Amino acid sequence: MHTTSSPANWQSFQSSHTRYPELGFTIDTSRMDIPSDFPDSLTKEIDRAIKGIQSIEKGEIMNPDEGRMVGHYWLRNPELAPNQELKTQITQPIADLKVFAQQVHTGKITNPKGGRFENLLIIGIGGSALGPQFIYEALGANSPLKTFFFDNTDPAGIDATLAKIIGTQGGLKSTLSLVVSKSGGTPETRNGMLEAVAAYEATGLDFGPHAVAITGDGSQLFEYAKNNAFITTFPMEDWVGGRTSVMSTVGLVPAALQGINTDDLLDGAKAMDDRTRSADIKENAAMQLALAWHHAGNGKGEKDMVVLPYKDSLVLFSKYLQQLVMESLGKELDLDGQVVNQGVAVYGNKGSTDQHAYVQQLRDGVANFFATFIEVRKGRDGESVEVDPNTTAADYLQGFMRGTRSALYQSGRKSITLSIEEVTPRTVGALIALFERAVSIYALLVNINAYHQPGVEAGKKAAGIFLELLQQVKGALTEQEQTADQIAASVQADAEDVYHCLTHLAANDSASVNYGNSPASDSFKAS
Ligand SMILES: O=P(O)(O)OC[C@H]1O[C@](O)(CO)[C@@H](O)[C@@H]1O
């Protein structure tokens, strides 16, 4: 017995998979056990999705809360953009960024000391970092610029990255910094930039002549770049959302600098868009994906999506998809204002590594997920050693992927399998486009706005309140020891909030603490 499959599975595989030969792409939803008449139960919703995605591509205001168009599908097909001005807003920056990258590569644009830029530091967060991080990991192996990221306001993380940059041959003087923020006012990115400014200055260098901004016209960052002699600024348009910006200047400037073929990336995305515009579900992989998510989670996100690429270079895809899917679909209200608390949770890392981490629970534990396997058929370029007679490491990788898919299915755990031949700019572009379109379609199926993120604001506001309180608490510290309750009374704030300020100050040399038996009996004084 060489197989765990059955004739029924073979039949279902044949009827539940769709191939796009020009992309070397296949989607297989056979192990999701979706009844063939399932789409009949969603005729109205599917119709809304097909019309809705047409409206998106036509440039209607499909992000009603923000009054914005949703233009990321035009980025790889400017002909779709509804007018000439918008087309030019796409084509001109692409032409400009290619020239810019070439000038950096050929040494026409140099660092102020006259040497070539050898490093790239990308400062951004969320959609302004995850796409470039994913693309660099997937496709940047031969990048002429060694790439680093500040994607947080963690000073220790910043120090660790700076130490790596300073340890390179060219150091900071040969490092081109790319500050990426659509809004131009995101605090983490601003802090990262100011940390970078300080680091350059500490080595006697000006930041501006080492820096490029990617941001919206007139934003704080735009003004900062203008006032600080940045090398240049690339635009980011308001009709591109952060989490769908990887095919805009946000993803393309770094990719071009890394020597990645941006035309192929865009072309792969366009080819996937063209295929997944079809009203025929059997032909439309993005519709199949969205329907599979809907079926698995009863249209309410009851099942999480575990993303398992069996290829190291795709390890960041799950992280990238986490934002794309969760920030888009995780919504309290639907478009009619009803409370729906929608979403699909996404996590994952890579196979077969994860088989030695959490696949035990996937197979035997709580059945609250479906898996999405990503198969890359080609193991490597060139010869492979035999790790067993006639067997390579690539054979093992494929064996583990197929084995896990089977083992999960045997225990009633569902999975989708997406296959590509190789990781190339074209296939990566196609995979990104596939998920972007599945997200658009799913949002339309369940009637939510996928393009705003009101929930993020609450945390930002609360952080602002904490920062204000921190200043008050700092001011209330004296030479006398005081408890959190005492300081809370003097600044008229909540004792727990004050306590968290105090422990933070104590850990960062701005207060000293005398620990009691409980938080209420800990006492603090100025240090
Ligand atoms: O590019 P910006 O404006 O700095 O925003 C970064 C990220 O912050 C968010 O606005 C909210 O987390 C994301 O949607 C976005 O990708």
Mean pLDDT across 349-369 = 95
Task: Report residue 217 CA to chain centroid gap.
Answer: 23
Is 210 an active-site residue? no
In this predicted structure, the answer to whether residue 153 has a pLDDT above a threshold of 60 is yes
**DSSP assignment of 315-349, as one string?**
TTHHHHHHHHHHHHH--SB-TTS-B------EEE-
Tell me the average pLDDT of the chain. Answer: 97
At residue 7, the pLDDT reads 86
Distance of CA 176 from the midpoint of ligand 1 (Å):
22
> Which three-class secondary structure string do you get for 151-210?
CCCCHHHHHHHHHHHHCCCCCHHHEEEEEEECCCCCHHHHHHHHHHHHHHHHCCCCCHHH
Task: Report residue 117 CA to chain centroid gap.
Answer: 26
Mean pLDDT across 470-482 = 97
At residue 112, the pLDDT reads 96
Name the residue of 63, 72, 125, 320 whose CB sits within 8 Å of the most ligand 1 atoms, as the mutation to test its pocket.
125
Q: Which atom of ligand 1 is nearest to the CA of 125?
A: 6
Name the residue of 323, 456, 460 whose CB sits within 8 Å of the most ligand 1 atoms, as the mutation to test its pocket.
456
Distance of CA 126 from the midpoint of ligand 1 (Å):
5
Mean pLDDT across 467-485 = 97
Give 428-447 pLDDT, tens digit per residue: 999 999 999 999 999 999 99
Model confidence band, residue 2 (pLDDT cutoffs 50, 70, 90): low
At residue 4, the pLDDT reads 56
Distance of CA 208 from the midpoint of ligand 1 (Å):
23
For ligand 1, whether the C-beta of 191 sits within 6 Å is no
Q: Class of 23-58+264-379+386-449 per CATH?
A: alpha beta
For ligand 1, whether the C-beta of 243 sits within 6 Å is yes
Task: Report residue 308 CA to chain centroid gap.
Answer: 16
Distance of CA 101 from the midpoint of ligand 1 (Å):
25
pLDDT-above-90 percentage for the chain: 97
Cα dihedral: 223, 225, 226, 230 (round 10): 180
For residues 280 and 460, the model is more confident at 280
For ligand 1, whether the C-beta of 327 sits within 6 Å is yes
Atom 8 in ligand 1: which residue has the minimum CA distance? 126
Model confidence band, residue 525 (pLDDT cutoffs 50, 70, 90): very high
Give 386-415 pLDDT, tens digit per residue: 999 999 999 999 999 999 999 999 999 999
Per the CB < 8 A criterion, the answer to whether 441 and 281 are in contact is no
For residue 372, the one-letter residue type is T
**Active-site option among 51, 58, 460, 461:** 460
The two three-digit tokens of residue 333, written as one number:
């209200």
Is 72 an active-site residue? no
Peptide bond before residue 352 is cis, with ω within 30 degrees of 0: yes
At residue 5, the pLDDT reads 62
Q: Which atom of ligand 1 is nearest to the CA of 250?
A: 1
**Active-site option among 2, 44, 79, 356:** 356
Model confidence band, residue 460 (pLDDT cutoffs 50, 70, 90): confident
pTM: 0.97
* 28: helix, strand or coil: strand
Q: What is the chain's alpha carbon radius of gyration, rounded to the nearest angstrom?
A: 25
- CA 499 – CA 516 distance, rounded (Å): 13
* 441: helix, strand or coil: helix
**Neighbouring residues of 340: CB distance < 8 A, sequence distance ≥ 6:** 300, 331, 332, 333, 334, 446, 447, 448
Is 327 an active-site residue? yes
For ligand 1, whether the C-beta of 189 sits within 6 Å is yes
At residue 6, the pLDDT reads 82
Name the residue of 63, 128, 152, 219 whose CB sits within 8 Å of the most ligand 1 atoms, as the mutation to test its pocket.
128
- CA 241 – CA 157 distance, rounded (Å): 27
Mean pLDDT across 154-167 = 98
- CA 396 – CA 296 distance, rounded (Å): 29
Beta-bridge mates of residue 148: 121
Q: Which atom of ligand 1 is nearest to the CA of 188?
A: 4
Extract the runs of DSSP E, i.e. beta strands, from 331-430: 346-348, 369-376, 415-420
In this predicted structure, the answer to whether residue 3 has a pLDDT above a threshold of 60 is no
**Active-site option among 137, 237, 327, 436:** 327
- CA 225 – CA 209 distance, rounded (Å): 10
Mean pLDDT across 135-142 = 98
- CA 264 – CA 247 distance, rounded (Å): 11
Atom 14 in ligand 1: which residue has the minimum CA distance? 242
ipTM: 0.98
Distance of CA 125 from the midpoint of ligand 1 (Å):
7
Atom 16 in ligand 1: which residue has the minimum CA distance? 127
Question: 269: how many CB neighbours lie within 10 A of its CB?
Answer: 28
Q: Class of 71-260 per CATH?
A: alpha beta
Question: Under CATH, what is the fold of the domain 455-526?
Answer: Arc Repressor Mutant, subunit A (1.10.10)
Distance of CA 298 from the midpoint of ligand 1 (Å):
30
Instruction: Indicate the domain borders of the chain.
Output: 23-58+264-379+386-449, 71-260, 455-526
The two three-digit tokens of residue 261, written as one number:
């073929």
At residue 459, the pLDDT reads 87
* Domain pair 23-58+264-379+386-449 / 71-260, same fold: yes
Distance of CA 219 from the midpoint of ligand 1 (Å):
14
Distance of CA 161 from the midpoint of ligand 1 (Å):
22
